[in-house]
Homo-oligomer: A and B are copies of this chain.
Amino acid sequence: FVNGKFCKDPKDVTEKDFFSSGLDIPGDTSGRVGSNVTAVNIEKIPGLNTLGISFARIDFAPYGLNPPHTHPRATEIIVVVEGTLYVGFVTSNLANGDNRLITKALKPGDVFVFPTGLIHFQFNVGKTKALAFAGLSSQNPGVITIANAVFGSDPPINPDVLAKAFQLDKKVVDYLQKAF
């Protein structure tokens, strides 16, 4: 099934294997962070297998945040359709251990790239809702929301690890692990 062979016999493939719907419907942004990602990947479109791309709609409430996260197997490219987004990513450690933050305020029609595996975020800094579309360079990009993965994993990470890593009091770690 590698390199251009479909999983199904090509004679049995139909348009349904390459189709998905619903990206006209805003995601629910009433949650705590005020953003919602509607992903269209190989789970929804089986014909994407081996094709190396997927898509997403990202909705933001006013002041909504798509919090710092990574895609372990994909670069992301977004276009802002509505609203104003303050976006950024942090580069890998250089030899001296620094992490550079690259940011940009985006308005409708602006396009920005988040290179594969780097921590990035999108923040709606306007009073109105915002909307972006994104292409991702994998049919199965994965997403790791940093705060959830670190403080909300199942089971939880050993609090000693987090207290030491984040220079936090264990009470704060405990509070965070309960919150996520």
Contacts and interface: CB of A to CB of B under 8 A. Distances in A.
Contacts of A15: 102-104, 112
B4 A93 contact: no
Contacts of A150: 68, 90, 119, 146
B154 A101 contact: yes
Given A4-B142, A144-B117, A165-B33, A149 B90 contact: yes
A161 B18 contact: no
Nearest to A4: B73
A86 B19 CA distance: 13
Interface of A: 1-5, 10-11, 13-15, 18-25, 32-34, 40, 42-43, 45, 47-55, 57, 65, 67-68, 70-77, 79, 81, 86, 88-95, 97-104, 107-119, 121, 123, 133-140, 142-158, 160-162, 164-168, 172, 176, 179-180
